[in-house]
Structure 1
Amino acid sequence: MNSTVDVALRAFFALIALFTITRIQGKKQLAQMTFFEYIVGITIGDITAFIATDIEGNLLHGYASLLVFAVIPFLVDFLSLKSKTIRDLFEGKGTVLIRKGKILEKNMKKEHFSTDELLEQLRLKDAFRVADVEFAVLEANGELSVMKKKESQPPSASDLGLTVKPEHDSQTVIMDGNILLEPLAEAGLNLRWLRDELEKAGVALDNVFLGQVDSAGELYLDVYDDKIEMPAATEQKLTLASLRKCQADLELFALETTDSQTKKLYGKASQKLEQSIKQLSPYLK
């Protein structure tokens, strides 16, 4: 019985030590683990298991070795910031697998990367044809970075000649039926506006699981009762339709009038409004 309690206590304190080390090392260890970090992680896990289960083992020796393997990564990270040579040694470098649409077979053999693995990684990056890939690099953490050819990339706002305003974070203003005042204030809104929007949607506050306001000021609501169909936002679409109607009216006025000055004035106003509609369309659809 005493040995069982001893193992349980050892396991408990070993788990706390392991959790503490993991938290101190930070999220990078989870997202961008290098070969060195992988080896250190496995070793720390083995040492922790030894501390927890080996009753005859010396606890001091176990925690001393655990401390060494916990400190070494910090030392390596510090030296890596100071020296590119050390950084390349411990973290490795990216290897180019595709350049200008051409697969580099020598580099693939060097990294023991098969054709099937390459095609799989490309598919995960939405590149289903090698011919669409301009550049692909196998990063030090094993991820494949892919840049498609220009003609295979989706058009951006700059390609279409559109001026796009910067996006802002969506603010969660309702959570579990409770109004969050701070995010509501950050969005530049108040309780009266929120209650009016809930009234328009015909939803009680208690029935709202989540409510978010986007950068355009639209309120998205997710309710507990999934059978309730939430109405789609129509204000922006109505605004766009009104602008198009105004532009069409200006063109009609220009055609109907016989006065050359007035015709020119209506024509200019119609062209300016058309340009404004093109710029606003991405936000009002």
Structure 2
Amino acid sequence: MNELSIVLIRGLVGVFFMLLLARLMGKKHIRDMTIYEYIVGISIGSLSAELTFGTEVRMLNFLLGMLIWAIIPIILSKLEMKSFRLRNLIEGKPTILIKDGRILEKNLKKESLTIDELMIHLRQKDIFHFSDIEMAVMEKNGQVSILKKTELQPLTPKDMGKVVEKEKEPRIVIVDGNLLEKSLYEYGYTKEWLLGEVVKQGAKNFSDVFLAQIDSMGNVYVDLYNETATIAQVKQKLLVAANIKQLQANLINFSLQTENKEAKEMYKKHSKQMDHLLDDMSGYLKE
């Protein structure tokens, strides 16, 4: 038997032995990965390191070994798609950890999962009380899926008997100050309408907008280039308007407090002038 044949046989044995070990280790140790990702990642990584430093072994043997570790899992995954039994044999089945609010201790032991580790999974799902859980399942990739009790699940429009409009994919309509007219028109809106929306949020033109996104309800998210400066300008204009209103209120108070008819009329007159001033400035304050 030549050297390459020996590598092939040893590689095949290694693949299936690693699959067996991964199954025996349980889902807990392959969290966030499939069995294939777990064993292939470790094995190809080790072979790559050995290829770098193991100068006494022929490079062709290393390449054949890496090829085996890449191809066999691919073949097995194709076979799994056609065979439910093979899929369960290699990857296992989801394990129920909590059912009807009760912890299944045998299944915890089967997955080598402690109560502390189970609590970590629950807290990651924002659950701190076992009494909130209807069912908890450990998936094949080591993640734990949680089903809350019915009375603790969020209320939806369907539960309330309301019919809501179907949500469509949000569209980006402005990028780097450039209007994407096709996206805008596909949603049924005009350029003039969008300009009005971005102006409301502090822009003077499309060129001031770094990014704008519109959803199917017509809500527009706008991110400006110089947003800090724009916010400061808006605050300054609001402060001017507030000062004018405060001055007007003071004039009205003075007119009520004084007994001098001429002064009273003067205060009222200037107070009305403040109204005209605010009306004249309204366009400036909205810019």
Q: Corresponding residue for 2:61?
A: 61
For CA contacts below 8 A with separation 6 or more, give which structure has more relative contact order. Answer: 2
Distance in 1 between the 2:59 and 2:110 partners? 43
> 1:32: how far off?
5.7
1:149: Cα distance to partner?
0.5
Tell me the secondary structure at the aligned position of residue 173 of structure 1: strand
Q: 1:150 to 1:56 in 2, by over 3 A?
A: same
Task: Show the counterpart of 1:207.
Answer: 208
Q: In the superposition, relative to structure 1, how do residues 206 and 97 fare at CA in structure 2: closer, same or farther (>3 Å)?
A: same
Gaps of 5+ in 2: 1-29, 235-287
In the alignment, the residues of structure 2 paired with residue 148 and residue 197 of structure 1 have an alpha-carbon distance, to the nearest angstrom, of 41
User: What is the CA–CA distance in structure 2 between the aligned matches of 1:139 and 1:201, rounded to whole Å?
Assistant: 46
Instruction: Give the unaligned 5+ runs of structure 1.
Output: 1-29, 232-285
Kindly provide the amino acid, as one letter, of the partner of residue 188 in structure 2: G
Cα distance in 1 between the residues matched to 2:182 and 2:31 = 31
Query: Does the CA-based 8 Å contact 2:97-2:136 persist in structure 1?
Result: yes
The corresponding residue for 1:73 is 73
Deviates more, 1:172-181 or 1:77-86: 172-181
After TM superposition, the runs of 4+ consecutive aligned structure 1 residues lying more than 4 A away are none
For 1:132-147, list aligned pairs within 5 A: 132-147=132-147
Q: Which residue of 2 aligns with 1:50?
A: 50
Give the residue type in structure 1 aligned to 2:137: V
Question: Are the aligned partners of 2:178 and 2:207 in contact in 1 as well (CA < 8 Å)?
Answer: yes
1:170 aligned onto 2:170: yes
Query: 1:217 maps to which residue?
Result: 218
* Residues 49-89 of structure 1 deviation map (CA, whole Å, 9 limit, x = unaligned): 23344444422222211111111121011110111111012
In structure 1, the partner of 2:157 is: 157
Which structure has the larger Rg? 2
Separation in structure 1 between the aligned mates of residue 50 and residue 190 of structure 2, nearest angstrom: 57
Alpha-carbon distance in 1 for matches of 2:163, 2:200: 32
Number of aligned residues: 202
Q: Given residue 77 of structure 2, which amino acid in structure 1 is its aligned partner? A: D
1:216 aligned partner, one-letter code: M
2:83 corresponding residue in structure 1? 83
Q: Hey, what does 2:186 align to over in structure 1?
A: 186
Instruction: State how far apart, in whole Å, the 2-side matches of 1:206 and 1:62 are.
Output: 57
TM-score, normalised to structure 2, is 0.64
Which stretch of structure 1 is more off in the superposition, 110-119 or 157-166?
A: 157-166
- Whichever residue aligns with residue 143 of structure 1, its letter is Q
1:129 matched to 2:129: yes
2: distance between equivalents of 1:169 and 1:130?
A: 37
After superposition, the Cα gap between the structure-2 partners of 1:132 and 1:31, relative to the gap in structure 1 and judged at 3 Å, is: closer
Aligned residue in 2 for 1:266: none
What is the identity, as a one-letter code, of the residue corresponding to 1:115? I
Do the aligned partners of 2:177 and 2:209 also contact (CA within 8 Å) in 1? yes
CA shift at 1:160, angstroms?
A: 1.6
SS in 2 for 1:172: strand
Deviation readout 1:229-258 (Å, 9 max, x if unpaired): 499xxxxxxxxxxxxxxxxxxxxxxxxxxx
- Residue 113 (structure 1) shift: 0.7
Contact residue 167 and residue 215 of structure 1 kept, 8 A: yes
How far apart, CA to CA, are the structure 1 residues paired with 2:74 and 2:31?
17
Q: Is the contact between residue 36 and residue 90 of structure 1 (CA under 8 Å) also seen in structure 2? A: no
SS in 2 for 1:157: coil
Instruction: Give matches, 1:262-281, under 5 Å.
Output: none
- Following superposition, the deviation at residue 201 of structure 1 comes to 3.3
2:176–2:210 contact (8 Å) kept in structure 1: yes
